[in-house]
Amino acid sequence: MAEVINNNVNYGDDNIRTLEGVEHIRLRPGMYIGRLGNGDDLGDGIYVLLKEVVDNSIDEFSAGFGKQIQITVTEKEASVRDFGRGIPLNSVVKAVSILNTGGKYDTKGYKKSVGLNGVGLKAVNALSSHFYVEAYRDGMSSYAEFREGKLLDSGQRPSKEKNGTFVKFIPDENLFVGYTFRMEFIESMMKNYSYLKKGLTLNFNGTSYKSENGLLDLINDNMSETPLYQPIHIVGEDVEIVMTHGNSYGENIASFVNGQNTRDGGTHLAAMREAISKTLKEFYKTFAKKDFAPEDIRQGIIGAISIQIQEPNFEGQTKTKLGSTYMWETVTENEDGTHSYDQGPTIRSYVNEFVKTNLDNYLHMHKEIIPVLQEKIASSEQERKEISTIQKKTKERNKRTSVYNKKLRDCKYHYKDKLPAAKEDLREETSIFITEGDSASGTITKARNAETQAVFSLRGKPINSYKESRKKIAENEELNLLINALGLEEDIEDLRYNKIIVATDADDDGMHIRMLVLTFFMKYHPDLIRRGHLYILQTPLFRVKNRNEVRYCYNQEEKERAIKELKTKVEITRFKGLGEISWDEFTGFIGKDMRLDKVRLSDEEPLADIMEFYMGENTYDRQLFISRNLRSAQELEDVDF
């Protein structure tokens, strides 16, 4: 229940209204599920809704009830059937329609669950055009049917079904406009659930997913390169960690809390990184008299962490980043109105102690790993020092020639004294456009929101990073300056912008530059892509107008539709470069509704094979792929009236 104040000139009692049940969720869906979207992105709301339902079933399994979950998904509809205890029959309607009602507010029923705020099923119900739930308990069932969160029918009846809960929902297309469930996203979700819940069988659209070795299976199944040593797998009561090293760059560590994939990390991932660095640093100090730096120890690391904690605090309803400090924490209100706090160990100390003890023991029992790991860390150290020397020299040279200032037009966010106090917390909105040439960068610079949007201008085509060493990359002025502008000289956590947006012309040269920039990130900073920071800007290819209306079209189909609908005296302009679009027009293309394609990189994809295909030696297969999939510039320009 919430109060909504209508802020208008004639403000009075009539402007105050109370929202009942789940009405507030429909009014402010972003507060509960983050973004809406159409299903093209794993972070879109329809997958959050599905996860909320499955999470409840996972919590039942974690509590010791039900070893199988059945998930059926079509393009528009999803259903989940578990075989847990079932929602208490007299509470079914309340559990799915009344906010702040649920069985997870104390730790008696669910000690280590994902959904703790009693909102999950209510959000699914509120944001669905049709929602049905039925709970089965000991020969009876209780059902309820809703439309847009409003109850249509409910009741109880005898049932021969096994105990558990069935939920079916159709997301409201008025909210999730043009949505479609993408099966590959859900398949990845099911795999992660199985890795994290050993012994649980998830049947998704007829295919079963089950893991016997937990996170070890996750790493072995998804590794896109041969590890330097067999993955180290250590398991405790509330924590499970697996790790190895490869020859790729960056860090690739997946993180989970109570079965929830925290793709943006949080306190548990930070604790794991620190614990591994500290443990290996101390081990090699003693064993080999070597004092390695944390960044060298973690270079090329591949791993995963899963922890179970009570009442986790996630940052946002989408639960992608853990904010909790303690493994468990309870607050008790005393008779005198004061509060008593009972806290367990911090996540940091718990993970540190676990890793220190178990990783150290593992190395002593598997001594064949010690020289392999030492050689890897030493190689990373030597490379880092060489690169650091090069970067310092380049930085000094660029300062003297003022190259850096010409390349980067930074945003005011990084000079907060230039921002109004109310706008200082804009980290999530910061972005940097990577473009090429004075004309394009000039257009974007004039059109951008200078508070949060920066522009970095490339000069010509960058080198093909796939064929070059990291040392060669550091010697390259363009990429060196880009690394510096992004804040990636030492650690990904120092990234200065939330979104890195590649903005190139829609011609052959522009596409080639785009591929070269993407190759750089894929090879040397793949963790940026995995965390969802890299995007491609879509800009209009055509302007179609008549005397009364102007339309911007992003593809051939949109252009043809605009020509047909505008009908007479149509003028068509084909934009070949960003610099051809006036800056005042361009303002509309990089605002809040700008079209961005997120660059995705899953753990299952063989990174080296992808880069070899696109950026390696020219092959017949690549030529065939290009000829079959790319339109020529002439095709785009041809206009049929």
Q: Return the CATH number at 522.
A: 3.40.50.670
Read off the pLDDT of residues 115-149 as tens digits, 9 standing for 90 and up: 444 578 899 999 999 999 999 999 999 999 999 99
69 in the same domain as 102: yes
449 closest CA partner among 471, 466, 426, 465: 426
Q: Which of 13-27, 399-413, 469-483, 592-606 has the lowest mean pLDDT?
A: 13-27
**Hey, which residues does 456 pair with through a beta bridge?**
408, 434
Q: Taking 50 as the threshold, does the pLDDT of residue 215 lie above it?
A: yes
The single residue listed with the structure tokens 């924490």 is 329
Q: Burial level of 31, CB count in 10 A (0-12/13-18/19+)?
A: middle
Q: Taking 50 as the threshold, does the pLDDT of residue 5 lie above it?
A: no
Distance between CA atoms of residues 310 and 329, nearest Å: 7
165 in the same domain as 57: yes
369 in the same domain as 414: no
Read off the pLDDT of residues 349-369 as tens digits, 9 standing for 90 and up: 999 999 999 999 999 999 999
How distant is the alpha carbon of residue 498 from its chain centre? 12
State the pTM of this model: 0.73
Among 139, 165, 182, where does a domain finish? 182
Q: Which two tokens stand for residue 320?
A: 């992608």
pLDDT of residue 617: 67
In a domain, 194, yes or no: no
Question: In this structure, are strands 453-458 and 431-436 parallel, antiparallel, or unpaired?
Answer: parallel
Q: Taking 60 as the threshold, does the pLDDT of residue 379 lie above it?
A: yes
* Three-class HEC string of 475-525: HCHHHHHHHHHHCCCCCHHHCCCCEEEECCCCCHHHHHHHHHHHHHHHHHC
pLDDT of residue 127: 93
The one-character DSSP state at 212 is S
**Hey, which residues does 70 pair with through a beta bridge?**
81, 203
In a domain, 353, yes or no: yes
Work out how many domains the chain is built from and give that number: 3
410 in the same domain as 370: no
The percentage of residues in the chain with a pLDDT greater than 90, rounded to a whole number, is 38
75 closest CA partner among 205, 209, 208, 188: 205
Among 182, 199, 225, where does a domain finish? 182
CA atoms within 13 A on the CB side of 230: 7
pLDDT of residue 100: 56
CB 280 within 8 A of CB 297: yes
In a domain, 391, yes or no: no
pLDDT of residue 544: 92
Question: In this structure, are strands 150-158 and 140-147 parallel, antiparallel, or unpaired?
Answer: antiparallel
Q: 10 Å Cβ neighbour count for 377?
A: 23
Q: Which two tokens stand for residue 288?
A: 């080999």
Distance between CA atoms of residues 632 and 358, nearest Å: 58
Q: Which of 457-461, 478-482, 615-619 has the lowest mean pLDDT?
A: 615-619
The one-character DSSP state at 10 is S
The one-character DSSP state at 97 is H
542 closest CA partner among 584, 574, 581, 566: 574
Is the CA virtual torsion 93, 97, 99, 102 positive or negative?
positive
Report CA Rg, the chain: 27
87 in the same domain as 56: yes
Distance between CA atoms of residues 418 and 242, nearest Å: 45
Reported as a pLDDT band with limits 50, 70 and 90, residue 2 is very low
The single residue listed with the structure tokens 């907060």 is 416
The percentage of residues in the chain with a pLDDT greater than 70, rounded to a whole number, is 83
Helix (H) / strand (E) element for 357: namely: helix 347-365
174 in the same domain as 243: no
Q: Which residue segment(s) compose the domain that 624 sits in?
A: 402-539+575-637
Q: Burial level of 242, CB count in 10 A (0-12/13-18/19+)?
A: buried
Reported as a pLDDT band with limits 50, 70 and 90, residue 106 is very low
CB 336 within 8 A of CB 253: no
Distance between CA atoms of residues 206 and 72, nearest Å: 8
Among 133, 161, 182, where does a domain finish? 182
434 closest CA partner among 482, 490, 496, 498: 482
Q: Taking 50 as the threshold, does the pLDDT of residue 4 lie above it?
A: no
259 in the same domain as 351: yes
In a domain, 197, yes or no: no
Residue type, 460: G
How far, CA to CA in Å, does 2 sit from each of 103, 118, 435, 471? 22, 15, 45, 57
430 in the same domain as 469: yes
Look up the CATH number of the domain holding residue 121: 3.30.565.10
589 in the same domain as 454: yes
How distant is the alpha carbon of residue 302 from its chain centre? 18
481 in the same domain as 358: no
Read off the pLDDT of residues 409-442 as tens digits, 9 standing for 90 and up: 898 888 776 666 656 677 888 999 999 878 888 8
Residue type, 480: N
Q: Burial level of 177, CB count in 10 A (0-12/13-18/19+)?
A: exposed
Q: Which two tokens stand for residue 593?
A: 């509704």
In a domain, 549, yes or no: no
Whole-number mean pLDDT of the chain? 83
32 in the same domain as 176: yes
In a domain, 506, yes or no: yes
Q: 10 Å Cβ neighbour count for 630?
A: 11
Read off the pLDDT of residues 265-292 as tens digits, 9 standing for 90 and up: 889 999 999 999 999 999 999 988 999 9
417 in the same domain as 367: no
Distance between CA atoms of residues 350 and 272, nearest Å: 10
CB 439 within 8 A of CB 578: yes
pLDDT of residue 3: 41
The single residue listed with the structure tokens 């060489």 is 386
**DSSP class per residue in 559-596:** HHHHHHHH-SS-EEEE--SGGGS-HHHHGGGSSTT-EE
595-598, strands of its sheet edge to edge: 408-409, 453-458, 431-436, 499-502, 534-538, 595-598
In a domain, 582, yes or no: yes
**Hey, which residues does 144 pair with through a beta bridge?**
133, 154
Helices of type H across 402-494:
403-407, 438-447, 470-475, 477-486
Look up the CATH number of the domain holding residue 228: 3.30.230.10
CB 453 within 8 A of CB 411: yes
In a domain, 65, yes or no: yes
Distance between CA atoms of residues 402 and 194, nearest Å: 54
Q: Which two tokens stand for residue 230?
A: 């067999």
The one-character DSSP state at 314 is B
Reported as a pLDDT band with limits 50, 70 and 90, residue 614 is low
